[in-house]
Amino acid sequence: MNLQLQGKNINLAKAKGVVGAFIDKLSIFEENMQRKDLTKFLNLKSSCGGSEDFQTYCLYLQTLKEDLQSRFQDLTSLKVPTWFINSFITTYLVEEGFSFVCILKN
Which pLDDT score, from 0 to 100, does residue 24 have? 92
DSSP string across 39-73: TT-HHHHHH--SHHHHHHHHHHHHHHHHHHHHHTH
* 40 or 98, higher pLDDT: 40
Rounded to an integer, the average pLDDT of 43-69 is 82
- The answer to whether 34 and 58 are in contact (CB under 8 A) is yes
Q: Which residues contact 53 (CB under 8 A, 6 or more apart)?
A: none
Segment 39-53 shows an average pLDDT of 72
- Backbone φ and ψ of 13, nearest 5°: -65, -45
6-42 pLDDT, tens digit per residue, is 878 777 878 888 899 999 999 998 898 888 888 877 7
Q: By the 8 A CB rule, do 61 and 24 touch?
A: no
Domain boundaries, the chain: 3-80
pLDDT given at position 85: 60
